[in-house]
Amino acid sequence: MTKPITIQDVKVITTQPAGSRLVIVKVITSEPGLYGLGCATFTQRWNAVVAALEKHLIPFALGRDVARIEEFWQMAMVHSYWRNGPVLNNAISGIDQALWDIKGKLANMPVYDLLGGKSREAAAVYTHADGRSPEEVTDNVKRFMEEGYRFIRIQMGGYGGRAQTMVKPEGAPDGAYYDPREYCRRMLKMMEHVRGEVGEEIELLHDIHERLQPIDAVRFAKDVEPINLFFLEDALAPEDIAWFRDMRAQCATRLAMGELFNSPHEWKLLIEEHLTDFLRMHVSQMGGITPARATALWANVYGVKTAWHGPGDTSPVGHAANLHLDLWAPNFGIQEWCRFPEHVYEMFPGLPEVRNGYLYPNDKPGLGIDIDEDLAAKYPCEDTIERWTQTRWPDGSPARP
């Protein structure tokens, strides 16, 4: 009987090359020179993920057979008894993705082939166009169109916008203020302007970022219906997902939801009742490739498509994992893309590239991506107190970010 290849060591690599703090897991095996990479990035609580890995998950993983990915994931998920939280899910994901990378290298196959093979040659992506005015947003949309993008998310003034008129109480605390009612009025006018300028051929998207009260979100989804968005993202918070029933009954606006989800209980209702059109989960936050593959297959039965979370706080390794899922999944919809700067490509050799609006793999075994650890070390993570998540309504009340 052939002696199994086991997990000999696990390194946790942290780096901040482009704004977001990234956590990369490197699983080193008993086979000389064989290792795998995975994404464990929870950028707002990166130290907690590092601690979870170093104090809990790595001791649990050492000595285990690298071939038994499913068994490792199932046992790691219940090993702490309490489960389905963003810190532990990301820690599990780092090792899970690295094991898929290793399995692909051992088989001399890309991960998408291990999953079942390609359903497409490349993944269509969308990028983000922001601006301070409808005209500036339109100009940025047209610039991306010239680069070959056909799916473009449009925002104005960031998430929730920046209110033009706001009267705060005396002594109001500092924070990222926004006015949800003004946001609805201004964003609707912005989207109408952009659609009028770029026509019907370009697919437009918009992200509410869960910042509205449920009844206002329902109204907003109705108001934007004539604009024919490719999808309206995160119209509701996870706590309010039952309101999707009301939204579905009121309009035919295409919906996407999921980047804050941790547990199958959060996406189960949306899939089984056809209450969303696209699943937006952050693959490392849901636990890695293993649960993402299972969820995609389940969603396919109900006609729900994938649109995995892919901003700058998904690491390049995480983007590579997203792409392998995208190329395989029969129900792939669209992939978010954050446009990394050039030095990140140098730091992560094999990082997928976009050409004419499509994200292409490099067809190397495993996830097809590596990391220059010396270069990563030149960009250490910095601890900061996030301001954008300290959101407030006009009277100073704390609000969802």
Active site residues: 159, 209
Give me the half-sphere count of Cα atoms (radius 13 Å) on the Cβ side of residue 108. Answer: 0
Show Cβ contacts of residue 105 under 8 Å, excluding neighbours closer than 6 positions. 34, 36, 365, 366
* Alpha-carbon gap, residue 243 to 235, rounded angstroms: 10
Enclosing H/E stretch for 351 = none
Three-class DSSP category at 25? strand
- Dist. CA 280–CA 305, nearest whole Å: 9
Return the structure tokens found at 27.
């699983």
Read off the DSSP letter of residue 310. Answer: -
CB neighbourhood size of 330 (10 A): 12
Instruction: Please state, in angstroms and rounded to a whole number, the distance separating the CA atoms of residues 63 and 76.
Output: 14
> What is the CA angle 229-232-233, rounded to 5?
145
